[in-house]
Amino acid sequence: MLDADKHVLSILVENQPGVLSRISGLFSGRGFNIESLCVAVTTDPTVSRVTLVTKADQMIIEQIKKQLNKLINVIKVHELTGSPFVEREMVLIKVHAKPEHRAEILRTVDIFRCKVVDVGAEHYTIEVTGTEEKLDAILSLLKPIGIKEIARTGVIALFREPK
Amino acid sequence: MELTGAQILIKLLKEEGVKTIFGYPGGVVIDIYDELMKSDIRHILVRHEQGAVHAADGYARASGGVGVCLVTSGPGATNTVTGIASAYMDSIPLVVFTGQVPVHLIGNDAFQEVDIVGITRPCTKHNFLVKRTEDLAKTVKEAFHIARSGRPGPVLVDIPKNVSVTKIKYKAPGPVKMRSYNPTCNPNKRQLQKVLELIKAAERPVIFAGGGVILSKAPEELTKLAKRTQIPVTTTLMGLGAFPGTDPLWLGMIGMHGTYRANMSTAHCDLFLSVGVRFDDRVTGKTDTFASQAKIVHIDIDPTSIRKNIPVTVPVVGDCKCTLEELNRMLEGVDLGDLDKKRKPWLDQIQAWKDTKPLAYEQKDIIKPQYVVEKLYELTEGKAIITTEVGQNQMWAAQYYHFDKPNHFITSGGLGVMGFGLPAAIGAQLACPDHIVVDVAGDGSIQMNIQEMATAVQCNLPVKVVILNNGYLGMVRQWQQLFYDKRYACTCMEHAPDFVKLAEAYGASGFRATKPEEVESVLKKGLSTPGPVIMDFVVEKEECVYPMVPAGAPITEMLLV
Ligand SMILES: Cc1ncc(C[n+]2csc(CCOP(=O)(O)OP(=O)(O)O)c2C)c(N)n1
Ligand SMILES: [Mg+2]
């Protein structure tokens, strides 16, 4: 896709069964792409927030937003990209931790201000929160040491309030 | 008041004003049928669930209301899918009730269980699985509200057996309130002001109307706008009847099988005023060159239709009727100058296009299908409700029957479903008992839902089927002739039933014409015979529909006779 930019959408939906499949079905059926998708209930138990990251050119992102709005269970679609917003993602990284590597891993953990949440004979599990870029950075540093497996949440985001 | 789910359903249907239901029973809906029989709602027993949905579609279009179906779970539900998908593409308001296995068996691969809500998610406007009898009334109300408001469409409601059997203390649901569904009806005035300026400035304007104008019941407003501004009008297939087909400002249909003048006007206009359309590929051909000299206005209630396929100068989101009313009001005080003089060069040019390349065919020794449609138009004085099958028959009906009124041309436009016409005619006839209803059919398509002849006979519905029998899947054969060196792979119907005898076997009447001089008398006989009739016209086998724009070409590149 030429000039396809990253867009972060924040979508409020009715907290009902099937809503997620309506959204994912819309994307697959119309050939739109989903980079990541996070869903959880809001403070109002009848409303869930979906944070969806997609790549699309101008005409397509306009269609995506309109098509999402057209779904009956979708209450509101906000595009965060283009306005100030905070974005966070979390990753759990299970990294091989041979004795000769432990110090280096802990140094990295320190630099990135993340923490070790599980320790085994042969591994550490590290929890990292931050922007996508930060997560990518620590992953590339730990890669040479040997990453066993990871679990990433995908991006969640909110508008920044005016100061 | 204690009511079962089935009783609640029937009660709500009556409150919604439902008079006719199209359906087919089965195990999990017996309780609903049991209640239905006690009510004064008329149930039409079709012979295939696909027929029920197309019939409800025809009923909805001819009546301007909502079509309703009731079928059983599993195969009953899956048989409705083609009909639902067709109604979805054409934005026809339907509510389809499917039975479902009891809630405690859902997910168990129970007998005749199918996830119909999952299956129809992409081809319904919305759908529901009702898990508790307490939710039924509210859901039914929402279903009707969603089906008929905004851009209309089919809504499916899946009702598990235990939900219709369970008795609860009934509480009437309040008015429908949905925070997540509020279609925009009123147009933005500032946008309309821009439209007005464009109309004032235009020298070669064209109005382009679609099915949305008919759905929002706006043909009168559209006609008023066209006459006031002296702007010629073309429509999509779905828009036929939105503007009188006998008016001097009428350009004919646009698109792949549109008229020469409609397509040329589109290519040369400087303002393309689009109302209730979605710029389907069968309309636009190659999009880069479509109406490329024009400023494009697009009025539609569905924002997703706007800028989906074609860039637009002025988008207006709103109901067609509200918007056109407002536009007409704004035009009232406006001085448009000497319109006769101003439009003359443009209208002269259009007339020249019409004179040099009219719709044409030559009637020689063998019956021409166009001739049959033209005669049908004459004999019915243009007043019949015409449904169609799909293929050449559909296009000839669109080209040679001239529709002065909306809701008189009923066709599966977006999905192009063969087998649509006969059940749709049954639905239309039920909605309009005093009208002549004719299904213009092909010999291939008619066999896809021919079983509905039994429905027509049982209900004594005098639908007339005109088969343009060319012995081919003609439209596909036409493509093979034009683009595949006449390699007629699997398009010759080597064997077909004797349609006259078939009509008689169903208890209907059948007539056949094999020579041009028989056409008129067979039509007269067929149209005046009471009850359902099949007329079999043995027509020229290798006739083609012209003009034709090859798929994906600019619409000015028309193959002509
Ligand atoms: C259900 C379905 N299957 C296949 C097609 C593809 N198709 C489009 S037109 C056509 C030929 C229709 O033949 P007939 O009904 O005889 O009409 P004719 O074109 O000959 O008038 C076919 C097969 C379709 N539109 N619908
Ligand atoms: Mg045929």
Residues 6+ apart with CB under 8 A from B268: B204, B293, B349
User: For the residues B465-469, what does the mean pLDDT come to?
Assistant: 98
Counts for chain A of helices (H) and strands (E), in that order: 4, 9
Total domain count, chain A: 2
Task: Read off the pLDDT of residues B117-135 as tens digits, 9 standing for 90 and up.
Answer: 999 999 999 999 999 999 9
Q: Does A29 touch chain B (CB under 8 A)?
A: yes
- How much of chain B exceeds pLDDT 70, in percent? 100
> How many Å lie between the centroid of ligand 2 and the Cα of residue B391?
8
Confidence bin at B326 (pLDDT 50/70/90): very high
Confidence bin at B350 (pLDDT 50/70/90): very high
Angle between helical axes of B49-63 and B81-89 (0-180°, round to 10): 30
Q: Which CATH architecture has domain B189-356?
A: 3-Layer(aba) Sandwich (3.40)
- A74 chain-B contacts, CB cut-off 8 A: 180
Q: Where are the alpha helices (DSSP H) in chain A?
A: 19-29, 58-70, 99-111, 132-142
One-letter identity of residue A38: C
Same domain, A67 and A121: no
Mark yes or no for CB contact A63/B304 under 8 Å.
yes
d(CA A121, CA A124): 8
Residue A4, pLDDT score: 82
Ligand 1 pocket, B418 CB below 6 A? Answer: yes
Q: Does A16 touch chain B (CB under 8 A)?
A: no
User: For the residues A72-88, what does the mean pLDDT come to?
Assistant: 96
User: For the residues A142-156, what does the mean pLDDT come to?
Assistant: 95
- Domain B189-356 shares a fold with domain B369-538: yes
Whether B408 and B425 have beta carbons less than 8 Å apart is answered as: no
d(CA B333, CA B335): 7
Ligand 1 pocket, B411 CB below 6 A? Answer: no
Q: For a pocket test of ligand 1, which of B422, B445, B479 has the largest count of ligand atoms closer than 8 A to its C-beta?
A: B445
Residue A152 has pLDDT above 70, yes or no: yes
Q: For a pocket test of ligand 1, which of B256, B387, B395, B418 has the largest count of ligand atoms closer than 8 A to its C-beta?
A: B418
Task: Read off the pLDDT of residues B423-440 as tens digits, 9 standing for 90 and up.
Answer: 999 999 999 999 999 999
A41-55: b (≥16 Cβ within 10 Å) or e: eeeeeebbbbbbbbe
Whether B267 and B204 have beta carbons less than 8 Å apart is answered as: no
- Integer-rounded Cα radius of gyration of chain A: 19
d(CA B130, CA B229): 51
The range of the structural domain enclosing residue A144 comes to: 87-159
Q: For a pocket test of ligand 1, which of B475, B482, B495, B539 has the largest count of ligand atoms closer than 8 A to its C-beta?
A: B475
The number of residues in chain B equals 561
- Residue B10: exposed, middle, or buried by beta-carbon count in 10 A (0-12, 13-18, 19+)? buried
Same domain, A133 and A150: yes
Ligand 1 pocket, B423 CB below 6 A? Answer: no
Mark yes or no for CB contact A72/B307 under 8 Å.
no
Query: In chain B, whose CA is at the least distance from the CA of A73?
Result: B180
The residue contributing the CA closest to ligand 1 atom 12 is B473
Closest partner residue to A73 among B122, B180, B307, by Cβ? B180
User: For the residues B537-554, what does the mean pLDDT come to?
Assistant: 97
Task: Read off the pLDDT of residues A1-45 as tens digits, 9 standing for 90 and up.
Answer: 456 899 999 999 999 999 999 999 999 999 999 999 999 999 999
Task: Read off the pLDDT of residues B165-204 as tens digits, 9 standing for 90 and up.
Answer: 999 999 999 999 999 999 989 999 999 999 999 999 999 9
Ligand 1 pocket, B443 CB below 6 A? Answer: yes
- Residue where a domain stops, chosen among A60, A79, A98: A79
Catalytic: which of B256, B395, B475, B548? B475
- Residue where a domain stops, chosen among A49, A79, A109: A79
Catalytic: which of B7, B22, B35, B49? B49
| Topology, domain B369-538 | Rossmann fold (3.40.50)
Ligand 1 pocket, B472 CB below 6 A? Answer: yes
Mutate: best of A72, A73, A76, A77, partner B, most B CBs <10 A: A72
Q: Does A73 touch chain B (CB under 8 A)?
A: yes
Same domain, A55 and A109: no
- Residue where a domain stops, chosen among A79, A99, A124: A79
d(CA B298, CA B212): 12
Domain ranges of chain B: 2-169, 189-356, 369-538
Class of domain B2-169: alpha beta
Mutate: best of B132, B177, B180, partner A, most A CBs <10 A: B180
d(CA B105, CA B294): 59
Residue A150 belongs to domain with CATH number? 3.30.70.1150
Which residue is it, tokens 């002549």? B436
Residue A75 belongs to domain with CATH number? 3.30.70.260
